[in-house]
Amino acid sequence: MVSATLLFAAGHTLQSDTNYSQWQYPCAGVPAATSTSGNRTDWPLKGGSIKLDLHHPWEYVFVNLGLGGNVTNFNYTLTGPTFWNVTGAGTLCVDLPLPEGLNPSDGQEGSIQVVTVGESGSALYNCADITFRANATALSKDECKTDEKVSFAQIKEQSGNSTDDGASADDAKSGASIVGLNNVALTAVVGMALSFVTGMVL
């Protein structure tokens, strides 16, 4: 089952090859593009467009970037400080600026990783190999359109509504903030779990 397909930048194709699985971290098992094979899309030096074909009523979407020709570490996030909650099946197109301080050079290679997580909690992976180019441009507004039935919101800590118990709005926090989700700790735990599973498979 395909949860998301990268329409632009040109993603690794999984449609006609049963050797790959979107369940496999980091890029569905598809090898990175080389100078002689595979898709590699020119991408602007300051960031570009990403166009996704989403297939579920809702899902969480993470878009990450790794630098180099054969990326195994996607250490830059392009979805802001956390991730997106996308509602609606269809096309989502977003312009993604690069994180502050990241200044790739013309000709530098990288890969964009899209991770989607649906109601089952399982993650699906897809990647697109890119080459940063000074003359590359983001998609035009006519090319980068999101379907009317698709929307997304940045997940962030929310303050709860105050109640009549005398608590001020500053004191009222949502259940998620009370639990105190620590993204660094969560990432470390998930990374350790993936390392453990990978070690068990080998």
Q: Provide the pLDDT confidence category of residue 161 given band limits of 50, 70 and 90.
A: low
For residue 15, pLDDT beyond 60: no
Mean pLDDT across the chain, nearest whole number?
79
Give whichever of 2-6, 38-42, 190-194 has the largest mean pLDDT. 38-42
pLDDT-derived band at 18 (thresholds 50, 70, 90) equals low
Higher pLDDT: 73 or 18? It is 73
Each residue's pLDDT tens digit, 124-156: 999 999 999 999 999 999 999 999 999 999 998
Listing DSSP states for the chain in one string gives --SEEEEETTPPP-TT-TT--TTSTTTTTPPPP-SSSS--EEEETTEEEEEEEE-SSEEEEEEEEEESSS-----EESSTTS-EEEESSEEEEEEEEPPTT--PPTT-EEEEEEEEE-TT--EEEEEEEEEEETT--PPPTTTS---TT-EEEE----PPPP-TTS--TTT---HHHHHT--HHHHHHHHHHHHHHHHHHH-
Per-residue pLDDT at 131: 95
Among 25-34, 40-49, 114-123, 176-185, the least confident range: 176-185
List pLDDT tens digits, range 45-86: 999 999 999 999 999 999 999 999 989 899 999 998 999 999
Domains of the chain, each with CATH number or no CATH: 4-156 (2.60.40.10)
Q: Give me the pLDDT at residue 36, please.
A: 66
Under 8 Å between Cβ of 12 and 27: yes
Both tokens of 77, joined, read 């996030």
pLDDT tens, residue by residue, 109-123: 999 999 999 988 999
| Rounded Cα distance, 87 and 58, in Å | 4
At 196, the pLDDT band (50, 70, 90 cuts) reads very low
**Contact assessment for residue 65 and residue 111, using Cβ atoms and an 8 Å cutoff:** yes
